[in-house]
Every structure is written in C-alpha cells, then in structure tokens.
C-alpha cells in the first residue's frame, strides 16, 4: 500500500462561500513531491475546481506563494518530506491579501506599491543610444545586487504585520526596490523616491519585525533595505533642515 499524506487545503468559492473553509485531500507520498506538485495532483485527479497559481515550478516566477502551516512559502520550493511525521499539513492563501478564490490572492495592491517607487533608472538627462550602455564597475553593482534578486512573490507582505494592519504601507519588496535603485550608480532618481520613503506609508511605518527577511526565498533581506532607507531618510531630513535654516528653499 502506498503511503499517503493528508493535505488540508483552504477553499473559498466567492459564488457560494461567505468565508474560507478547509478541505482535506489524500495525496500519495513521495520524497521529491513539492507542495505545488501535490496541489496540481489534487486539481488534476481529485477536484478540478481547486484554484491556485503557479508557472515556473523553480522559484523564479514568484506566483506560487501560499501559507504552509502558517508560514509564507513558495509551494514549488517546499516539499512534502519536510512535513513528514507532522500532525498536519495545511495550505492557505497568503496572509494579509484579499482572497480571490481558494489559494489565489489579490495582489494588485502590492503591484501598485512596486510601481509607486519608480523602480527604473531615472536620469536627469538621458544619454543617446549611440553613446552605449551606462557603465558601472562590479563593485558598484555589488552594492545593490542582493536587493535586485526579488521575484515579487509577496511572501514578505504576508509576513509583515505592519502591512497586515495597514495595506497602504508600501511594504518590504517595494521599499527594497526603491533602495535597490537608489544604490545604483547609474541612477539619479533618489531625490524623487525620497518623497515616498519619507511618507507615512514609507520606511517609517516599518518597526523592524524582520520576519520578511526570514521568509524571503531569494535572500533579498528586505528588512535591511528598509532600515538603510531610514538612514537615507534621516540624512535627507537633516540636509533639508540645514538648507531651510540657511534660508535656502527646501529640496
């Protein structure tokens, strides 16, 4: 007889349900089966109405984020074997986001936050294409390299109690992206982004819980990025104050 594992999957069908509920499925156990494989197996062979998101199956696209036993994780990067012998294996939609259906979250607020910080190279004057690419040294690239590894999976938002309290908070990934461009030697947009960093919804809404960095599947360390943003925001404040005191227009 093959060993099976019970997976409790959160269901929410907007047409008929008022709130989410849990449905148990039996999945044949195998050493190399990921939670995503298990969900696909359920959808293919047991209940085709189950909805969940995925694409790459290799921790690159960032679409398969779910709560697994209460922790935000990528379903494709988490394996049944890690939960062998545990009492329960429970899969829910990501915390802190509205649930669209079953395991599918509405992440549009998060995507808007990413756009807000203008995550692209801003130049005071663009050089013509004929001048070639903007160049930078490997050392200069190293300064933001880790922060550029984000795959926009949203796990850090599910991990952030400040975002859970107030969805207007720009949150870990967006503020990290701002810091990523502010640290890029080719970028000249830091002063524009500073308005967002300094805002109520910016870096100062972070209380350094730090769980975002723990759950990030790409070791981006958003908590570090945000708190470096606080240092930048402090410096910006001091410079502005100094300029105002000297009677200059504030920046």
Q: Which residues would be at the binding site for ligand FES (CB under 6 A)?
A: 54-57, 59-64, 74, 76
Q: How far apart are CA 56 and CA 123, in angstroms?
A: 34
* 155 is a site residue for ligand SF4 (CB under 6 A): yes
Out of 173, 194, 203, 206, point to the residue binding ligand SF4 (CB under 6 A): 173
DSSP the chain: ---EEEEEEEE--TTT-SS-EEEEEEEE--TT-BHHHHHHHHHHHT-TT-----S-SSSSS---EEEETTEEEEGGG-BGGGGTT-S--EEEPPTTS-EEETTEE--HHHHHHHHHT--S---SSPPPGGG-PPP--HHHHHHHHGGGG-----HHHHT-HHHHH-TTS-HHHHHHHHHHHHT-TT---HHHHHHHHHSTTSGGG-----HHHHH-TT---HHHHHHHHHHHHHHHHHHHHHHHHTTPPP-
**Residue 61 beta carbon to another protein: minimum distance, rounded to whole angstroms:** 22
Which residue in 31, 46, 38 sits closest to 66, CA to CA?
38
**Residue 224 beta carbon to another protein: minimum distance, rounded to whole angstroms:** 4
Q: How far apart are CA 120 and CA 77, in angstroms?
A: 29
Out of 103, 216, 223, 226, point to the residue binding ligand SF4 (CB under 6 A): 216
Binding-residue total with another protein (CB under 8 A): 35
Q: How far apart are CA 79 and CA 33, in angstroms?
A: 6
**Residue 207 beta carbon to ligand SF4: minimum distance, rounded to whole angstroms:** 17
**Residue 43 beta carbon to ligand SF4: minimum distance, rounded to whole angstroms:** 24
Strands 71-74 and 21-28, by their bridges, are unpaired
Beta carbon nearer to ligand SF4, 156 or 203: 156
**Residue 213 beta carbon to another protein: minimum distance, rounded to whole angstroms:** 9
One symbol per residue from 150 to 189: x for binding another protein (CB under 8 A), - otherwise; what is it? ---------x-x--xx------------------------
* 209 is a site residue for another protein (CB under 8 A): yes
Q: Which does 74 bind (CB under 5 to 8 A by kind): ligand SF4, ligand FES, another protein, none?
A: ligand FES
Q: Which does 54 bind (CB under 5 to 8 A by kind): ligand SF4, ligand FES, another protein, none?
A: ligand FES
* 57 is a site residue for ligand SF4 (CB under 6 A): no
Subset of 90-119 contacting ligand SF4 (CB under 6 A): none
Binding residues for another protein, per CB under 8 A? 12, 14-15, 17, 19-20, 70-71, 95-100, 106, 139-140, 143, 159, 161, 164-165, 207-211, 214, 221, 223-224, 227-228, 230-231
């Amino acid at each position: 007889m093959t060993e099976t594992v019970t997976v409790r999957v959160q269901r929410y069908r907007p047409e008929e349900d008022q709130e989410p509920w849990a449905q148990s499925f039996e999945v044949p156990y195998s050493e190399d089966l990921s939670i995503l494989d298990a969900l696909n197996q359920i959808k293919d062979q047991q209940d085709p109405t189950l909805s969940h998101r995925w694409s790459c199956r290799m921790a690159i696209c960032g679409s398969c984020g779910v709560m697994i036993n209460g922790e935000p994780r990528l379903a494709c990067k988490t394996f049944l074997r890690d939960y062998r012998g545990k009492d329960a294996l429970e899969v829910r939609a990501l915390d802190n986001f509205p649930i669209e259906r079953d395991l599918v979250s509405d992440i549009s607020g998060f995507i808007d936050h990413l756009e807000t910080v203008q995550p692209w190279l801003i130049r005071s004057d663009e050089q013509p294409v004929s001048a070639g690419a903007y160049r930078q040294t490997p050392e200069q690239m190293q300064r933001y390299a880790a922060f550029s590894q984000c795959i926009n999976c949203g796990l850090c938002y599910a991990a952030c109690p400040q975002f859970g309290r107030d969805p207007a908070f720009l949150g870990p990934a967006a503020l990290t992206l701002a810091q990523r461009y502010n640290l890029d030697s080719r970028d000249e947009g830091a002063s524009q982004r500073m308005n967002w960093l300094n805002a109520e919804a910016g870096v100062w809404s972070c209380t350094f819980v730090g769980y975002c960095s723990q759950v990030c599947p790409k070791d981006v360390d958003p908590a570090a990025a945000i708190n470096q943003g606080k240092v930048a925001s402090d410096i910006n404040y001091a410079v502005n104050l100094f300029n105002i005191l000297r009677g200059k227009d504030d920046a």
